[in-house]
Structure 1
Amino acid sequence: MVSPAIALAFIPFLMTLIIRHRHYFLLFWRAVLLRKVRDYVTGLSREERAFQYVMTHGIPGDPENILSTFDTWCYHSEYLSNVGPEKGKILERLIYEKVPLTLLELGTYCGYSAVRMAQTLPLNARLYTVEMDERNAAVAEKIIRLAGFDEENGECRGVEQIISPSDEVIPHFRERFGVDKFDFVFMDHWKRCYLRDLQLLEDHNLLQEGSVILADNVIFTGAPHFMQYAKSCGKYRWKIHRTHLEYFHYIRDGMAELTYVGLK
């Protein structure tokens, strides 16, 4: 049994640990503990609760307002792993610069990043966004429609949602959707799938010289095997955009920008 003197000696150490890593404790509270409590009390997922807030407070057909309303919820109520405003600006800037016509998003989640991309796309561009979780996909569909991007409003900038595991849909993109190559790929799904899906895109010849792959969360929580491959395989030029975790300015994170150069 631990003596009171030994227990008291650990108090300064524990207090220092909590203070130094308080932002991670806060993230754990908001992303895990608070979520479980509210899931139980409301009977809804946090993604569904977020949609209810956005539907109540957002302006339909105004993408910027929908995004800012989403951000307000995430800053002040519950944490959601959207790309967020800081990284979202990097995503938008790259789309403005590269002017891609065929885009692939892996990890629709709640539709936040799909809306960010859709409002930035050229009028004749097409975004295919893939989500394996049916419940999250249902929220994303409603968010995308609420922002004004759907097949019924005459908008040329199309968003096509695909509910499927990424490794099952990537090999069949060409025959199912008539996509020859992707100009831009945004990865924001399970980090352990980044390398597998990048290699699937290569194996099925869905990348061309100049195709851009933007991968989120390569520092927190990290995708080390993906980054090691990107740096060593000789198929990509790469750089890291150093940012912060979405909605947590004191936790460092980053996005990896890869440009496909093919085999030399």
Structure 2
Amino acid sequence: MVTLLLLSLPLLPVLITFYHSPLRTFYRRVCDMAQKVLGGKVCVRRTHAYVFSECTHGQAESVLDTFELYSKKHASSNIGLEKGVFLDEVVRRKAPLRVLELGMHCGYTSVRILRLLPNSGKLLTVEVDPLTAEKGEEIIMVAGFKSSQVLPCSSAEAISSLASHLGEDCLDLVVMDHDPEQYLPDLLALERENLLSKQSVLILNRVAEAGAQTVLEYINTKPNNYTACQQVKDMLEIHFVPFIPLK
């Protein structure tokens, strides 16, 4: 044991440098992705196949219930029932007409939102993974909805082209559940493009992660524009009000 410790001492500066470097974050993300792929922890194809075959087509509630049944026995990336009910409450209270969802996770959140939108409402869902986008869009159709559009591209690409999809409208609700490292860059892009309405609501999932924490640090510097409201588990509701300086 002593010999092992002595042999490890020359590597100590390297280990310390690695621990505090961006490489550590990159390494952890690569390991997490590899674990999911190799371990089969979350499988879009299996999730889709189960929901598609077991739910009652055309009934949104049946689709959601089937997702919940699947997640009881298998690893799932959807937000789950408790946070889902919280999201329902926000959608009912704010009654948004234009919704942007970043991160699809096979369509669970999409269906939750769509079933509560008015007839004139529209959902734009962005998913960078082509397979997830394809399977998620099928689940949305299985649930009986056509008032949505799936954009199979990165969030940055989608935000830069949103004006062509929204016309003169702005976003009333933005749900961020993609890569937390993209939360702040995407929020800044939404601001630059003036895509947030006068009373937009942001829903951030996984706010405990480092990337999401940068958003919280940012909104704390803009108390006139953003207010953090309710939180359920690691899902947070944030209200946006554009600050208009007095003349």
Q: Is this a same-fold pair by TM over 0.5? A: yes
CA-to-aligned-CA distance 1:202-244 (integer Å, 9 cap, x gap): 100011221111111102576111111012223111124132x
1:259 corresponds, among 207, 220, 239, to: 239
Indicate how the Cα distance of structure 1 residues 172 and 34 shifts in structure 2: closer, same or farther if over 3 A, else same.
closer
User: In structure 1, the residue corresponding to 2:56 is in which secondary structure?
Assistant: coil
CA-to-aligned-CA distance 1:171-201 (integer Å, 9 cap, x gap): 2211344252101111111000001111111
In the other structure, the counterpart of 1:23 is none
Structure 2 distance, partners of 1:258, 1:61, is 32
Structure 1 distance, partners of 2:84, 2:160, is 28
Would the aligned equivalents of 2:98 and 2:171 in 1 still touch at CA under 8 Å?
yes
Structure 1 distance, partners of 2:145, 2:127, is 17
Taking the TM superposition and a 5 Å limit, the aligned residue runs for 1:107-118 are 107-118=103-114
Letter in 2 for 1:242: V
- What's the CA shift for 1:97? 0.5
In the other structure, the counterpart of 1:159 is 148
For structure 1, the residue ranges without an aligned partner over 5 or more in a row are: 4-30, 40-44, 151-157, 244-253
In the other structure, the counterpart of 2:228 is 238
**May I ask how many residue pairs the two structures share in their alignment?**
215
Report percent identity of matched pairs: 34
In the other structure, the counterpart of 1:147 is 143
2:73 corresponds, among 65, 76, 85, to: 76
Indicate how the Cα distance of structure 1 residues 222 and 55 shifts in structure 2: closer, same or farther if over 3 A, else same.
same
Taking the TM superposition and a 5 Å limit, the aligned residue runs for 1:1-264 are 1=1, 36-38=38-40, 46-77=43-74, 79-150=75-146, 158-178=147-167, 180-219=169-208, 223-234=212-223, 235-243=225-233, 254-264=234-244
CA-to-aligned-CA distance 1:16-50 (integer Å, 9 cap, x gap): xxxxxxxxxxxxxxx975862448xxxxx711011
User: In structure 1, the residue corresponding to 2:106 is in which secondary structure?
Assistant: coil
Indicate how the Cα distance of structure 1 residues 222 and 204 shifts in structure 2: closer, same or farther if over 3 A, else same.
closer
Would the aligned equivalents of 1:230 and 1:258 in 2 still touch at CA under 8 Å?
no
Would the aligned equivalents of 1:102 and 1:127 in 2 still touch at CA under 8 Å?
yes
- What's the CA shift for 1:83? 1.4
Would the aligned equivalents of 2:106 and 2:139 in 1 still touch at CA under 8 Å?
yes
Structure 2 distance, partners of 1:69, 1:60, is 11
User: In structure 2, the residue corresponding to 1:110 is in which secondary structure?
Assistant: helix
User: In structure 1, the residue corresponding to 2:161 is in which secondary structure?
Assistant: helix
Would the aligned equivalents of 1:230 and 1:236 in 2 still touch at CA under 8 Å?
yes
Would the aligned equivalents of 2:127 and 2:153 in 1 still touch at CA under 8 Å?
yes
Structure 1 distance, partners of 2:180, 2:61, is 28
Structure 1 vs Structure 2 CA RMSD = 2.3
